[in-house]
């Protein structure tokens, strides 16, 4: 068992500190395109799978319903994404990445990957770091 001393941080403190450092670094990368982290997570999720329902987007981005609605509204207003009624279930709305959104993703994905690589390389073992994070997330 890990012994706590005054010199060591709790897991939650260490993870919070790391989360804030990572999100700050990525946010700086996204600022050049006037995007927030939440907006990037939506654009990135839509680049991986075409036409997601809001519930699927919420699961992939970890955003709450109201936050996700505001994020998607903003992306619609910039023509990065668009909404359509689901042809299989007219009660559902799907969100799609527009051609403008695809170009945006292509332009930014390289910068985000570079920033992620830079951060992971600080761990000394990027693959092991990702494995530990996945395990902590229950994946």
| 137 vs 30 pLDDT, higher one | 30
Cβ density class 62-78: b for 16+ within 10 Å, e for less: ebeeeebeebbebbeee
Q: pTM for the complete prediction? A: 0.85
- How far does Cα 129 stand from its chain's mean position? 18
2 pLDDT band, cuts 50/70/90, is: low
**What is the CATH number assigned to the segment(s) 38-117?**
1.10.10.10
Residue 127, SS3 per DSSP: helix
Domains of the chain by residue range: 38-117
pLDDT digits 0-9 by tens, 108-134: 999 999 999 999 999 999 999 999 988
């Amino acid at each position: 068992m890990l012994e706590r001393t005054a010199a060591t941080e709790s897991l939650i403190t260490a993870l919070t500190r790391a989360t804030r450092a990572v999100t700050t670094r990525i946010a700086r990368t996204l600022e050049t395109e006037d995007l927030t982290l939440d907006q990037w997570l939506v654009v990135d999720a839509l680049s991986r799978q075409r036409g997601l329902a809001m519930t699927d987007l919420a699961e992939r981005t970890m955003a709450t319903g109201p936050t996700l609605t505001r994020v998607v509204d903003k992306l619609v207003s910039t023509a990065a994404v668009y909404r359509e009624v689901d042809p299989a279930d007219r009660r559902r709305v799907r969100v799609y990445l527009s051609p403008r959104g695809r170009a945006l993703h292509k332009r930014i994905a390289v910068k985000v990957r570079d920033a992620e690589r830079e951060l992971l390389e600080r761990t000394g073992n990027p693959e092991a770091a990702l494995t530990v994070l996945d395990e902590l997330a229950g994946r």
